[in-house]
Chains A and B, each alone.
Chain A
Amino acid sequence: GDSVTQMEGPVTLSEEAFLTINCTYTATGYPSLFWYVQYPGEGLQLLLKATKADDKGSNKGFEATYRKETTSFHLEKGSVQVSDSAVYFCASRSVVGDKVIFGPGTSLSVIP
């Protein structure tokens, strides 16, 4: 069945460091891919998405490119801030069925 795998956390970075959170997926057909973020004490919210191969999603300085050949959707940010501290979830939604499949989440802590 469909699945999403992402790098284990927690990840701790200093402010202004470069961030990469790896995500790979297995899916039937051509899924849409998402990154959701959960800030402390808040609900899940969409960070960015990409709906077809080679699409790049971007928001708030974060980027991720839909790589069909490597079945990956890695999240990157050039310079993280303390306010980026949160749990990040990679997710996919396939043409087969309507459910969104989430990865286990990666906790990011950014220290000043």
Chain B
Amino acid sequence: DAGVTQSPTHLIKTRGQHVTLRCSPISGHKSVSWYQQVLGQGPQFIFQYYEKEERGRGNFPDRFSARQFPNYSSELNVNALLLGDSALYLCASSKTPLIDEKLFFGSGTQLSVL
């Protein structure tokens, strides 16, 4: 079975632009989470979706938004990009949002903002 897939793998944008990142979860997984990983740091939680509803939001500005589609894939949108948004964006899927559930991570989208 395919793992969590993310696209694109790399992206270069300029300040003020908008970006959309995409994630396809493992088949049968209904929960998708997004994390931001700055070089040298641990992943920081951005959003979690389960059954197309937002279940959690991290401490990120309103420029960040996301949604989950009926097939459980997800998009992360970032508006008005800042230099500080440069990071690896990780998508993780799991069967449920229960606290002991194992997360399966994609390889990420490396976003560079110039």
Which residues of A line the B interface, CB within 8 A? Answer: 4, 31-32, 36, 42-46, 49, 51, 89, 91, 93-95, 97-105
Contact = CB atoms under 8 A, between A and B. Distances in A.
26 contacts: A4-B42, A32-B99, A36-B105, A43-B4, A43-B106, A43-B108, A44-B105, A45-B105, A46-B104, A51-B100, A89-B42, A89-B43, A93-B99, A93-B100, A95-B99, A98-B55, A98-B56, A98-B97, A99-B45, A99-B48, A99-B56, A100-B33, A102-B43, A102-B44, A103-B42, A104-B40
A95 B98 CA distance: 9
B102 interface: yes
B90 to A, nearest CB: 7
Interface of B: 3-4, 33, 35, 40-45, 48, 50, 55-56, 58, 90, 92, 97, 99-100, 102-108
A98 B107 contact: no
Contacts, number: 64
Contacts of B48: 98-99
A102 to B, nearest CB: 3
A104 B41 contact: yes
Given A43-B4, A44-B43, A98-B55, 5 more contacts: A36-B103, A44-B90, A89-B43, A94-B99, A100-B103
A43 B92 CA distance: 10
Contacts of B58: 99
A101 B42 CA distance: 9
A98 B33 CA distance: 10
A43 B89 CA distance: 11
B107 A43 contact: yes
A99 B56 CA distance: 7
Nearest to B57: A99
A103 B104 CA distance: 18
A98 to B, nearest CB: 4
A89 B42 CA distance: 7
Most buried by A among B4, B56, B100: B100
A41 B42 CA distance: 16
Given A49-B100, A98-B48, A98-B99, A105 B41 contact: yes
